[in-house]
Structure 1
Amino acid sequence: MQSSAELPGAVLVVVTWNSADVLPGLLDSLEAGMSGLRWRLVVADNDSADATSDVVRTKAPDALLVQTGRNAGYAAAINAALDAVGPLDKDTDAVLVCNPDIRMRAGCGAALVRGLEMPGTGITAPLLFDGTGRMIRTLRREPNPLRLLGEMALGAHRSGRFAALGEQVADPQAYKGPTRADWVAGSLMALSRECVEACGPWDESFFLYSEETEYALRARARGLATRLAPDAVAVHLEGEATVSPKLWTLLTVNRVRLYRRTHSAPAVAAFWGALLLREASRALLGRASSRAAVRALVSPARLRAKPGP
């Protein structure tokens, strides 16, 4: 049996914003969820107007509570937490980044850190389930125009069976092993110390959405892969992105902004056109969030504007 000094070390960063209702469930899950690790908790709070800070002080009095002083976004909050921690020492093997509506199952954190031991791996993600017990397909391929059109024609689940036609990895077998992906949904992920040091700060120009995509693609460019750690299991109660026009618009516009970073103008035009066509087809079916996204995509001012809430 390992002594506590021999256990892997980790920093768990939780980003909060008006999270008083969901945060207690996460904190209650951590004793079992982070078992098998030496760990410390850092909560980066984006100027919550509710009792989030009180929840942290009451339920996790040993946690480091970092106040950003504003609704700074997900990436900025992660950076604030890591700045407060300072340089990672040799006893810190990983940084875990987590949403407050995550519920870790026993040993989840340790399994994520073990997954980082696979050579060339910089990021691991757990097997995620929603609140009803349905598995969430979190593995993703790099976005491109053909995959957008494939999703429009076939739907995300059907197109995801084909690597050329879908961004979402839909094959059930992919979720049974340490499958490599271009990126993963970022509600819970582990970053190796090497990855944190090689990639540097998260890109704060993405207020919300696409920041985890950008980070994983940046890690890949440095030779560090993103993989599923299937022995790590968690529940994600999930947010409003699929139903809120405001959040869906932000997600959609940020996809264009990210694609524009590394592609030529003709390629960006093709990506924008495919995304516009996909959202327009959904808008015609009555989806209000897609109508809002279409309005943003045809507005040059919205595409140029600094991302924000």
Structure 2
Amino acid sequence: MGSGHDTRVAVVVVTWNSAGVIEGLLRSVQGSRLDGSVRLIVVDNASSDSTVQVVRELMPDAEVLQAGRNAGYAAGMNAGMAAAGDCDSYLLLNPDIRLGPTTIQSMLEELRESGAGIVVPRLVDEFGALRLSLRREPTVLRAWGEALLGGRRAGRFPPLGEVETRAEAYDRRTEADWATGAAMLISRECLARVGAWDETYFLYSEETDFALRARDAGFALRYTPEAVAVHHEGESHESPALFSLLSRNRVKLFRSRHGAARTALFWSGVFLGELIRAARPTRRAAAWALLGNVRGVARPSS
């Protein structure tokens, strides 16, 4: 890490039984080259493995906050950012992220040059293949477009898909409505204006909510391909319980920004998409979860 003090970055990581992946992240943070200083804060959500021990052994200077319970991703990030004190920006990372040597510096430069409130990097898998991380604002049309066409096909047409699936869109600097929250740099001014992450989401859609609220407040989200980070695939695509939570929180997020009638149409599109693909256990579980929550579609988000 750089030894200068031009820019003070708080790197916040939320862990939960992350002993198998956290070492790679810590070593990539240690290997980062940037004009400034990094303060690493690890918020542990009551891991039952050796996550905390690994952090303390590899990076004794890291600040470890123990939540005492699995409080969720948003709560962990809020705790970490609150503990960061006087810093210029906050880099929020999943524990399975691997940073390139210049990733943080490239994100900082984009944040400074663009005047954006949020910057996200190019995410790739462990083999270097692009991960589709940019997103468009959820709409009724996009929910139905993805249901009928499939997410990858619908994403080629901006009005019809929420996920940006055009590879060429990831080759240049651009803006997006929101992006996956595996690696996200937030300016101090943006956080101060927008406020804390919504902890009622527990997991999934919390980054969507924050990015859209930031946009509402005038802070753009910028993507820069010069910053590259490796992200290992999460469990949501394999776990029926997690995928169900992801789907339900998509509706919760939409409901927080729209009225009952539009929310019902959005829910119908999401539900249809899961029903069409119910041969897969994760999608079948999501359909059942959405069906079980149908009475709450028109209620205010909580």
TM bracket, shorter-chain basis: over 0.9
Alignment partners' CA distance in 1, 2:221 and 2:136: 11
Mapped pair 1:152 → 2:147? yes
Partner of residue 232, structure 2: 237
- The residue number in structure 1 matching 2:175 is 180
Give the TM-score normalised by the residue count of structure 1: 0.92
Shift of 1:119: 4.0
Equivalence for 2:186: 191
Superposition pairs for residues 1-309 of structure 1, below 5 Å? 4-5=4-5, 7-86=6-85, 89=86, 92-283=87-278, 286-300=279-293, 303=296
CA distance in 2, matches of 1:42, 1:190: 14
C-alpha distance after superposition, 1:62-83 (max 9, x if no partner): 0110111100000000111122
CA distance in 2, matches of 1:137, 1:76: 26
Structure 1 residue 34: Cα displacement: 4.9
Closer/same/farther in 2, CA of residues 150 and 237 from structure 1, 3 Å limit: same
Q: For 1:228 and 1:33, how far apart are their aligned partners in 2?
A: 19
CA distance, structure 2, for counterparts of residue 49 and residue 259 of structure 1: 34
Counterpart Cα distance in 1 of 2:160 and 2:293: 28
Letter in 2 for 1:10: V
Give, in whole Å, the separation in 2 of the partners of 1:152 and 1:36.
46
Inter-partner Cα distance in structure 2 for 1:302 and 1:101: 36
TM superposition shift of 1:97 = 0.1
Alpha-carbon distance, 1:172 to partner: 2.1
* 1:118 Cα deviation from its structure 2 partner: 3.7
CA contact (8 A) 1:253 1:303 kept: no
Q: Distance between the aligned counterparts of 1:3 and 1:68, measured in 2?
A: 30
Shift of 1:120: 4.2
Q: Once the 2 structures are TM-superposed, how far is the Cα of residue 242 of structure 1 from its aligned partner?
A: 1.0
- AA matched with 1:49: S
Using the alignment, how far apart are the partners of 1:161 and 1:22 within structure 2?
Answer: 33
Q: Give the Å deviation of 1:110.
A: 1.1
Identify which range, 34-43 or 69-78, moves more after superposition: 34-43
**Gap regions ≥5 residues in structure 2:** none
- Quote how far apart the aligned CAs of 1:117 are: 1.8
**Secondary structure at the counterpart of residue 278 of structure 1:** helix
Cα shift at 1:58 = 0.2
Query: Counterpart amino acid of 1:13?
Result: V
Q: TM-score, normalised by structure 2?
A: 0.94
| Distance (whole Å) between structure 2 residues aligned to residue 12 and residue 120 of structure 1 | 20
Kindly report structure 1 stretches of 4+ aligned residues shifted beyond 4 Å: 301-305
CA deviations 1:253-306 (Å, max 9, x no partner) are 0011111111011000000111110100010xx11111111111111389589x
Mean Cα displacement is larger for which, 115-124 or 22-31? 115-124
Q: Which region of structure 1 is more displaced relative to structure 2, 241-250 or 76-85?
A: 76-85
Rounded Cα–Cα distance in structure 2 between residues aligned with 1:175 and 1:71: 34
Question: In structure 2, what is the Cα distance between the partners aligned to 1:289 and 1:232?
Answer: 32
**Identity rate, percent:** 47
Q: What secondary structure sits across from 1:290 in the alignment?
A: helix
Q: Between Structure 1 and Structure 2, how many residues are aligned?
A: 298
CA distance in 2, matches of 1:137, 1:148: 17
How far apart, CA to CA, are the structure 2 residues paired with 1:3 and 1:193? 21
- Secondary structure of the structure 2 residue equivalent to 1:33: coil
Counterpart-to-counterpart distance in 2, 1:295 and 1:133: 35
What is the CA–CA distance in structure 1 between the aligned matches of 2:12 and 2:295, rounded to whole Å? 31
Relative to structure 1, is the Cα distance of residues 301 and 167 closer, same or farther in structure 2, using a 3 angstrom cutoff? closer
Deviation of the 1:145 alpha carbon: 1.9
Shift of 1:155: 2.2
Q: Which runs of 5+ in 1 are unaligned?
A: none
